[in-house]
C-alpha cells in the first residue's frame, strides 16, 4: 500500500520518516504542512480551496502571520557551543563501564 508523509524538515529520502518502502515523503513549508494536516487533503490549496467549519459554512484558512525574522536577531544566550580546553591533556572523559553504546579506546603509541 502506498502512503504519503508531508513534513517540513529536509529528510525526504526513503524510509526516513517511516520504515515502509512504499511511503512517499514530501517536504513543504510549515504553513503548508499545517494546512494539509487541518484538511486531511494532499491536494488542498490554501489560496483557493475552502473547508467546512463547525457551522457547515465554507471558509478559507487565514493567511499565517508572524515575523519573517526574529525581532531581536539570532542572539542566543546558550548556543550549545563549548570552546575546547586550552590544554586538552588535563581533560578527563568519563564513560560508564556498563554503557552499551560508548567505550573508551585504548591508548596507542604516538
C-alpha dihedral (6, 7, 13, 14), degrees to nearest 10: -50
Q: Look up residue 83 and give its three cell numbers.
A: 570552546
Rounded Cα gap, residues 46 and 31, in angstroms: 9
Q: Which domains does the chain have, with CATH numbers?
A: 1-65 (3.30.499.10)
Rounded Cα gap, residues 26 and 33, in angstroms: 10
pLDDT in tens, 57-101: 999 999 888 877 878 887 777 778 888 889 988 888 899 999 999
The pTM (predicted TM-score) of the whole model is 0.54
- Burial class of residue 32 in the structure, from the number of CB atoms within 10 Å of its CB (0-12 exposed, 13-18 middle, 19+ buried): middle
Q: What is the percent of the chain with per-residue pLDDT over 70, rounded to a whole number? A: 93
Q: What is the pLDDT of residue 11?
A: 66
Amino acid at each position: 500500500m502506498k502512503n504519503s508523509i508531508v513534513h517540513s524538515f529536509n529528510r525526504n529520502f526513503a524510509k526516513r520518516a517511516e520504515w515502509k518502502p512504499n511511503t512517499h515523503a514530501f517536504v513543504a513549508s510549515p504553513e503548508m504542512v499545517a494546512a494539509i494536516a487541518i484538511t486531511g487533503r494532499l491536494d488542498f490549496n490554501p489560496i483557493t480551496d475552502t473547508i467546512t467549519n463547525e457551522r457547515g459554512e465554507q471558509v478559507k484558512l487565514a493567511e499565517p502571520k508572524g515575523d519573517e525574522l526574529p525581532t531581536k536577531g539570532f542572539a542566543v544566550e546558550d548556543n550549545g557551543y563549548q570552546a575546547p580546553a586550552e590544554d586538552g591533556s588535563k581533560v578527563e572523559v568519563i564513560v560508564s563501564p556498563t554503557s552499551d553504546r560508548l567505550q573508551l579506546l585504548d591508548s596507542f603509541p604516538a
